[in-house]
Structure 1
Amino acid sequence: MLELGTRHDGGLANDFTLARRRRMMGLARGVTVSTLGAPAGPIARSGIVRGDIRRGFGTANGVARGVPLDIRVRLTSATSGRPLAGHAVYLWHCDRDGNYSLRSPGLENENYLRGMQATDSAGWVRFTSIFPGSHEGAWPRLHVEVYRSVAAASCPATRLHAAEIMLPADACVQAHGTAEGHPGATVMMACVTGDVRRGLVATRTMGI
């Protein structure tokens, strides 16, 4: 088993614990809990609730550089198809070199490319990010966890869903000039539009 701090897919429970242990929490650059529109719980106070995940939060000040990627995820009910409003989506991914903040050597004190948003009335969340690279030969992907609300995310047991959203080969070629890795068996694939000059947009609807 990988030790805490070496695995990249531990999710919010592990990431939150690790960032808190390294004293990286706290709102920065004048952002307030009321501005975030989130309950005043530990998750909201951490600074991780944000839409632009290219910069670090709290005491971390690193910036992830790369091809712009606008990530849009919509949550719907798997039974009725209706949008799920007010649910919290925690999303994270590696940088353009395939390294993860908090986890990869040299990035232990960075926490960029990680963030949480609450779905709007139509079930959508949106993150401003960069196109990820290939981690250890794996297909470029976005890691996602879903909670009933931002407040509920403080308790790991309330997690409703976890998934990996793969980015298609043609988009990887646009961003990096090559499509590395392989998606393996059944995967959840994003629809990617746009171009490198104006930025790419990854969209995926998830039934929960």
Structure 2
Amino acid sequence: MTNRRVLPYPADDHDHHDDFNDLGLTADLDMLARAVVDRRRILALGGAGIATLIGGSLGLTSAAARTTATCVPVIPFETAGPYPADGSAASGQTQNVLSRSGIVRSDLRTSLGTKNQAQGVPLTLKMTLVNVNSGCAPLAGYAVYAWHCTANGEYSMYSRNVVGEDYLRGVQATSKDGTLTFQTIYPGCYDGRWPHIHFEVFPTLASATSARNKIQTSQLALPESASRAVYATPGHGPSLSNLGRLSLDRDMVFRDGYAAQMASVTGTPARGYIASLTVGLAR
């Protein structure tokens, strides 16, 4: 396995939980917004504190309170499918693209070995990892391995026509605000599956070398309207007709619920698309 050069990530100097000691009412309210508010804690604030909590009479709206109000659920665990190339046994073989030099990359469109490029409508994939056990605070320094099919529904390293390619697969680490970005193409729709992108989450970039180190496996769903617009353009094989025979409610992965996995997508086939998803983890 090729050794990776993992750049040091700037961490906070210490746990800031204790920084709120003796900082007054504003800090107390902020801390209350971060955790479950119990009756004794509220009473300890006194009448003015209670009024502030209930009516916002002092006009204090903390960032933590806003985050908690919009916190996402934990993303469901899903199968990695038959083509993960993550070191696990799948499709009668064991392949591990995570051991290849250069797999830590933001642009997934080029094969590491052949330098061939996957063709299709450009897609920018933006993901934000958050901790649902801490008011959806951002998770910095985690890593995501993402992979998906080509514009006409084939998987590199497995499908016959692209078995020698390893494009549309790559790893990125989250920044301080929990975000990461991949440049790729809009995946096609093959028979029997709703348009989707696979991903695995690892606790660190250094650990993203094998499926045995992952802490979550899931899939991102793409909306029907954008998918139909993309598949109406050349180069997508039977994707449009395949999509016409599917529904999210009948898909083998998304039929039990997809609200936490449906990406927000904007754009056009001519300009390309941006897909965004906040991934909730219980850390």
| Same fold at TM > 0.5 | yes
Find 2:141's aligned residue among 79, 86, 102.
Answer: 86
Residues 101 and 155 of structure 1: CA distance in aligned 2, closer, same or farther (over 3 Å):
closer
Greater share of strand: 1
Q: Which residue of 2 aligns with 1:123?
A: 178
Q: Which residue of 2 aligns with 1:38?
A: none
RMSD (Å), alpha carbons: 2.0
Structure 1 gaps, min length 5:
1-5, 21-41
Q: Which residue of 2 aligns with 1:204?
A: 277
Kindly state the Cα deviation for residue 206 of structure 1 after the two structures are TM-superposed: 0.5
Q: Identity rate of aligned residues, in percent?
A: 36
| Alpha-carbon contact 1:19-1:102 (below 8 Å) kept | no
Amino acid at match of 1:150: L
Find 1:13's aligned residue among 84, 87, 93.
Answer: 87
SS at match of 1:157: helix
| Alpha-carbon contact 1:11-1:145 (below 8 Å) kept | no
Counting matched residue pairs gives 178
| Alpha-carbon contact 1:146-1:161 (below 8 Å) kept | yes
Question: What whole-Å deviation, never above 9, does each CA across 1:31-54 have from its counterpart, x for those lacking one?
Answer: xxxxxxxxxxx84x6211000000
Residues 155 and 115 of structure 1: CA distance in aligned 2, closer, same or farther (over 3 Å):
closer
Residues 65 and 89 of structure 1: CA distance in aligned 2, closer, same or farther (over 3 Å):
same
Find 2:226's aligned residue among 147, 171, 179.
Answer: 171
Amino acid at match of 1:52: D
Alignment of 1:130-149 (within 5 A): 130-149=185-204
Residues 190 and 159 of structure 1: CA distance in aligned 2, closer, same or farther (over 3 Å):
same
Amino acid at match of 1:13: G
Alignment of 1:31-46 (within 5 A): 43=99, 46=101
Q: Which residue of 2 aligns with 1:23?
A: none
| Alpha-carbon contact 2:87-2:96 (below 8 Å) kept | no
Distance between the aligned counterparts of 2:165 and 2:85, measured in 1?
A: 16
Q: Which residue of 1 aligns with 2:265?
A: 192
SS at match of 1:192: strand
Distance between the aligned counterparts of 2:114 and 2:214, measured in 1?
A: 26
Kindly state the Cα deviation for residue 61 of structure 1 after the two structures are TM-superposed: 2.0
SS at match of 1:154: coil
Q: Which residue of 1 aligns with 2:128?
A: 74
Distance between the aligned counterparts of 1:169 and 1:67, measured in 2?
A: 15
Structure 2 gaps, min length 5:
1-80, 233-239
TM-score norm. by structure 1 comes to: 0.79
| Alpha-carbon contact 2:141-2:175 (below 8 Å) kept | yes
Greater share of helix: 2
Distance between the aligned counterparts of 2:175 and 2:266, measured in 1?
A: 22
Amino acid at match of 2:144: V
Residues 100 and 196 of structure 1: CA distance in aligned 2, closer, same or farther (over 3 Å):
same
Distance between the aligned counterparts of 1:157 and 1:97, measured in 2?
A: 30
Residues 108 and 206 of structure 1: CA distance in aligned 2, closer, same or farther (over 3 Å):
same
| Alpha-carbon contact 1:73-1:204 (below 8 Å) kept | yes
Amino acid at match of 1:200: Y
| Alpha-carbon contact 2:265-2:275 (below 8 Å) kept | yes
SS at match of 1:133: coil
Kindly state the Cα deviation for residue 106 of structure 1 after the two structures are TM-superposed: 2.0
Distance between the aligned counterparts of 1:114 and 1:142, measured in 2?
A: 10
| Alpha-carbon contact 2:106-2:171 (below 8 Å) kept | yes
Residues 155 and 69 of structure 1: CA distance in aligned 2, closer, same or farther (over 3 Å):
closer
Question: What whole-Å deviation, never above 9, does each CA across 1:64-104 have from its counterpart, x for those lacking one?
Answer: 10111000011000211100001010000001100000011
